[in-house]
Chains A and B, each alone.
Chain A
């Protein structure tokens, strides 16, 4: 099995990396601190963490667990191991102003204003995610926590969650665009064979310990079992079988609590639409890039119908505005602009010639910047029809945004910075994501609160004065370990493992 990625060990992978637990609509996300490291490790060792092994009939409950760097430290994981993780994970999402600036976490969204995770040195240790079918959550919580839970952990906060079905708080069907993880290795990462966009993504872009889209192993903690015999319970590193791979089958998990001002959004769109309900829906769908039911603005064919399309034939954004939310979050382009068919055309493109459109080739190849989303909504449902009414209640509503990645800076941070917040994305003129944008003026004072809707007739239809609709209320970078790494964290001895086997 050494050197082979074919043998995906699903029983060592936490289920969330493979399944969204969509049927388990009742959730409880707990931010915990370690109160007593010994008790916490004992609890973790016996915790019924859900794996990625398919179960039939479908399970009624699930449990996943992830740790911040502070959490690993609190559980006495060796510093040398933690240093093997990426800098972003070690430093954290909020501790560095430069990172906040890049992510657009400024002003109202600045970490200093967060409800949790924003103060340096005050990052939660653990994220415990409980899932259940409706009505079963309380029982599941009691079962999971058992007797020693309160001794082991301090509950910092339970993050609100509330299922709205398939839609997110603004009222759009969400979660359609997801990469298909290529568990069976159907597709090569070879740069010479990947000119076009594909929705298949290698497991190494989500899990550590496998080749990523560059065909290389992302950095993660490796342990020499000679120095640390306990590490022999961990899987061997594929690229260096002499050492053990603490990261294998684990993922970075980015969690951000995004507060969505639903009345503000719909009232803005309503005003722009002159209170015409059809026009209101049309404008909102142009901002998102999909209609409310999820139908993309680009004609799509294939299965699923809502996710099989690219923007290749709409370079000007006449069908879907270039700056639309879904176009920024997933530009669906390949390593080369369209039109590379053979060696010669490829060479011409490599040298920078043969561009068909002034805006061509401005956006980075998508496959290196995918994220696997696992978020859940919170707050009560407010339909657009109700949201436009004067005095519609501005309550706590939004998204517990969660994504799984293998490289935080190249995936999550890149998407957030170079695509969502970028005021020049793909050549747009001084505007950021119509939903997520921070609307911060440029250094020369230019406003960035517009949204351009290109029109076939020529002149762009421009919306102005978009307020900030989404504010960050909290966030942290976690590591969701593989099951054996979890047992290692939990202090399991190698002999014990041997006895089990």
Chain B
């Protein structure tokens, strides 16, 4: 995630430049001249968003003077492969456009040769990152969409010809058809790229290292637990809840950008509660979340939620603020419903460390369960995403998973009747 403070007085012209990248409200033009997203065949989603501390003065409730936060331009995307090589590709293909956009920011590079270094200097790693399906590339997504379309259409024809009963014959003819399409280059199923051994080893070390570390520190944690619990309850009783109804105009402006595609973007920004306890808590739970996302929730669901494509949590401004960005399927009302009814406890763990969050008990209870306050809190901390791109509009995370199952059936050819029926039912 690249971030850079916007120069004093340059916010409006920056906003105007970003607007030129959109085809319609809330939808980036994939072929826009500044950052032609569609030229990057490993970019899943990307956004430009201007971070403004709209709720920055809430912290006054703690008697703390708000820290200055200049409007800050953020660019983030989710890509296949290494971030460094993606940045390099970005500079080559859209250097001029990026320079034009970031020219509104402090210390922006004038020269193409300095751009890559500047971007790397301004790159900020997330505290936690969630990917719906780790390892599924853009190329794979697109190939599998084409596969699903071709097989579904052909299956309809076959059923018209020979009926639906003989499932083995249907599958056989589908697979022959697929071979034919592949030979004619109309369908490609590129084998998954090999995982670099370095990544594999690092991942393995992380996978076992973190639980090991937790095991090592667990006696200390256990000893500290009563004190931490006491401190937690004290804070939970005194922390103010700041969740007034958000201003109608700003809700209107946010809603204007939503529900054009089946997937929506969400960007939110707010202050972390003052004090060491809350800062440590948010860091600790994000660390756990990042671990869980990397090693456990990597195949289509984050606890009970199956609608999130990508999400990230970034701690900013000397650990005083948190930025959250996600890409989710359905409307915001449905997203909030999932938050409240399916994973309220998880949201509470992280976001209850944010200033003004609906009151919690024991870290996981209430909070998001305070429905109306939670919905207001969310909307009030949400920021308009000026430019948002998704490489596969019209496709939900669930559908991408289904398409992968279709492909799995092609490549593994199950032999029992039930599995064949299920596979045909996917088409």
Q: Are A457 and B164 in contact (CB under 8 A)?
A: yes
When A361-B306, A364-B337 are in contact, do A429 and B262 touch as well, CB less than 8 Å? no
Residue B422 CB within 8 A of the other chain: yes
Which partner residue on chain A sits nearest B376 by CB separation?
Answer: A219
Residue numbers in A under 8 Å from B396 (CB-CB): 424
A341 to B334 Cα, complex, angstroms: 26
Q: Are B372 and A455 in contact (CB under 8 A)?
A: no
Q: Among residues 450 to 465 in chain A, which have CB atoms less than 8 Å away from a CB atom of chain B?
A: 454-462
Residue numbers in A under 8 Å from B337 (CB-CB): 364, 368, 410, 414, 418
Residue numbers in B under 8 Å from A368 (CB-CB): 337, 341
Q: Among residues 245 to 280 in chain B, which have CB atoms less than 8 Å away from a CB atom of chain A?
A: 245, 248, 251-252, 255-256, 258-262
Residue A109 CB within 8 A of the other chain: no
Q: Are B420 and A458 in contact (CB under 8 A)?
A: yes
Which partner residue on chain A sits nearest B24 by CB separation?
Answer: A443
CB < 8 Å neighbour of A417 from B331, B341, B345, B405: B331
Among A42-50, A171-179, A324-332, A345-353, the stretch that binds chain B is A345-353
Shortest A462–chain B CB gap in Å is 6
A446 to B165 Cα, complex, angstroms: 29
A76 to B301 Cα, complex, angstroms: 52
CB < 8 Å neighbour of A442 from B255, B262, B424: B262
Among A7-15, A94-102, A249-257, the stretch that binds chain B is A94-102
Residue numbers in B under 8 Å from A99 (CB-CB): 255
Residue A362 CB within 8 A of the other chain: yes
Shortest B417–chain A CB gap in Å is 9
Residue B97 CB within 8 A of the other chain: no
Shortest A156–chain B CB gap in Å is 26
Which partner residue on chain B sits nearest A462 by CB separation?
Answer: B156
Q: Are A358 and B405 in contact (CB under 8 A)?
A: yes
Residue numbers in A under 8 Å from B260 (CB-CB): 101, 443
When A358-B402, A361-B306, A458-B421 are in contact, do A219 and B259 touch as well, CB less than 8 Å? no
Q: Are B256 and A98 in contact (CB under 8 A)?
A: yes
A316 to B421 Cα, complex, angstroms: 12
Q: Are B425 and A458 in contact (CB under 8 A)?
A: yes
Residue numbers in A under 8 Å from B113 (CB-CB): none
CB < 8 Å neighbour of A96 from B252, B333, B372: B252
CB < 8 Å neighbour of A459 from B164, B259, B345, B402: B164
When A427-B402, A458-B422, A460-B425 are in contact, do A87 and B248 touch as well, CB less than 8 Å? yes
Which partner residue on chain A sits nearest B401 by CB separation?
Answer: A358
CB < 8 Å neighbour of B330 from A87, A316, A410, A422: A422
Residue B329 CB within 8 A of the other chain: yes
Which partner residue on chain A sits nearest B155 by CB separation?
Answer: A459
CB < 8 Å neighbour of A362 from B258, B262, B333, B398: B398
Residue B128 CB within 8 A of the other chain: no
Residue A261 CB within 8 A of the other chain: no
Residue numbers in B under 8 Å from A443 (CB-CB): 27, 260-262, 393-394
Residue B170 CB within 8 A of the other chain: yes
Shortest B413–chain A CB gap in Å is 15
Residue A80 CB within 8 A of the other chain: no
Residue numbers in B under 8 Å from A101 (CB-CB): 259-260
Residue A128 CB within 8 A of the other chain: no
When A414-B334, A424-B262, A427-B398 are in contact, do A454 and B248 touch as well, CB less than 8 Å? no
Residue A444 CB within 8 A of the other chain: yes
Residues 196-212 of A, flagged 1 when their CB comes within 8 A of B and 0 if not, give 00000000000000001
A132 to B350 Cα, complex, angstroms: 57
Which partner residue on chain B sits nearest A442 by CB separation?
Answer: B394
Residue B175 CB within 8 A of the other chain: no
Residue A91 CB within 8 A of the other chain: yes
A216 to B399 Cα, complex, angstroms: 36
Q: Among residues 281 to 326 in chain B, which have CB atoms less than 8 Å away from a CB atom of chain A?
A: 297, 301-306
Q: Among residues 364 to 405 in chain A, which have CB atoms less than 8 Å away from a CB atom of chain B?
A: 364-365, 368
Q: Are A216 and B370 in contact (CB under 8 A)?
A: yes
Residue numbers in A under 8 Å from B395 (CB-CB): 444
Q: Are B331 and A418 in contact (CB under 8 A)?
A: yes
Residue numbers in A under 8 Å from B423 (CB-CB): 458
Q: Are B334 and A460 in contact (CB under 8 A)?
A: no
When A364-B337, A454-B425 are in contact, do A350 and B304 touch as well, CB less than 8 Å? yes
CB < 8 Å neighbour of A424 from B259, B329, B342, B424: B329
Which partner residue on chain A sits nearest B262 by CB separation?
Answer: A424
CB < 8 Å neighbour of B333 from A418, A429, A430: A418
Residue A238 CB within 8 A of the other chain: no
Shortest B408–chain A CB gap in Å is 12
Residue A423 CB within 8 A of the other chain: yes
CB < 8 Å neighbour of B345 from A349, A350, A355: A350
Give 8 nearest A-B pairs by CB, closest first: A458-B424, A444-B394, A458-B421, A98-B255, A442-B394, A352-B303, A418-B334, A444-B393
Interface residues in chain A, defined as those with a beta carbon under 8 Å from any beta carbon in chain B? 87, 90-91, 96-99, 101-102, 191, 212, 214, 216, 218-219, 316, 335, 349-352, 355, 358, 361-362, 364-365, 368, 409-410, 413-414, 417-418, 422-424, 427, 429-430, 442-446, 454-462
Interface residues in chain B, defined as those with a beta carbon under 8 Å from any beta carbon in chain A? 27, 155-156, 159, 164-165, 167, 170, 245, 248, 251-252, 255-256, 258-262, 297, 301-306, 329-331, 333-334, 337-338, 340-342, 345, 369-372, 392-396, 398-399, 401-402, 405, 420-425, 427
> Can you give 29 contacting A-B residue pairs, CB < 8 Å?
A102-B331, A216-B370, A218-B372, A219-B372, A352-B304, A352-B305, A358-B401, A358-B405, A361-B304, A361-B342, A362-B398, A368-B337, A410-B333, A413-B333, A414-B334, A417-B331, A418-B331, A427-B402, A429-B399, A443-B260, A443-B262, A444-B393, A446-B394, A456-B421, A457-B167, A458-B164, A458-B422, A459-B155, A459-B159
